[in-house]
Amino acid sequence: MKIQMTGRHLTVPAPVKRRLVERLEKLTRYVPELSEAQVKLSAEKYRHKAEILIHVRHEDHMARAEAADLESAIDAACDRLEAQLRKLKEKKSKKLAAHKAPDGPLRRSAARAALELEEVSRPVRGNGAAKERVTVGRLRIVRDREADSKPMSLAQAASLLEESDGGFVVFVDSGSGRPCVLYRRGDGQLALVEARA
């Protein structure tokens, strides 16, 4: 790793330089492509300051620390920089995990997945009526029933939903002529979905 070190009002002893190199080398476990660091060390009376700047993935990461001795200031700055890089690595791993499907392969866009997946349609026997089942990838869609969409007002649809034990009502709004779905939400309220013309 290439380290550019600048010391203001002090000379950096060899053991402190070795300690700095060791601490910066540890950062490569979070960011293997890390190859360069700029370090500014300064001393003012009894205060020692350390400032470390690295460039990772098109971003600059900097940490500053102040302590009574130079080695403590370097350790504190390296700890702060390590925390930043740990967050960066966790963010990247979460992003990768979000793009992976549960079984491992990378998830494709919805459009590409729809083009690549085969649709299989089979009749299913159950309760004396034939139902159609469509398999898309891992999802299985079973055509359960057909809903009659009768023209009615929103108030009529709400009273029909209250009377029935179903979770939704499909109807055509008598005012606008658009197909609508009225369903019961988890909190008990009714919600309306209107199709745009």
pLDDT tens digits along 120-156: 445 555 554 555 666 666 677 777 667 667 788 888 8
Q: Across the chain, what does the average pLDDT equal?
A: 79
**162 and 82 fall within a common domain:** no
- Is residue 45 included in any domain, yes or no? yes
pLDDT band at 39 (very low <50, low <70, confident <90, very high): very high
- Is residue 126 included in any domain, yes or no? no
pLDDT value at residue 116: 54
- Is residue 128 included in any domain, yes or no? no
**93 and 163 fall within a common domain:** no
The total of other beta-carbon atoms located within 10 Å of residue 66's CB is: 15
pLDDT in tens, 130-139: 556 666 666 7
CB of 24 within 8 A of CB of 15? no
- Is residue 54 included in any domain, yes or no? yes
**92 and 172 fall within a common domain:** no
Largest CA distance in the chain: 92
pLDDT band at 38 (very low <50, low <70, confident <90, very high): very high
- Is residue 110 included in any domain, yes or no? no
**8 and 84 fall within a common domain:** yes
- Is residue 75 included in any domain, yes or no? yes
- Is residue 135 included in any domain, yes or no? no
- Is residue 106 included in any domain, yes or no? no
The CATH number linked to 174 is 3.30.505.50
> What value does the mean pLDDT take over residues 161-183?
85
> What value does the mean pLDDT take over residues 163-184?
85
Asked if the model's pLDDT at residue 174 lies above 90, the reply is: no
Look at the pTM and tell me if it is higher than 0.85: no
C-alpha to C-alpha distance for 143 and 124, rounded to whole angstroms: 9
Q: State the total domains in the chain.
A: 2
**Which residue range is the domain that position 181 belongs to?**
147-197
> What value does the mean pLDDT take over residues 172-183?
86
C-alpha to C-alpha distance for 25 and 19, rounded to whole angstroms: 10
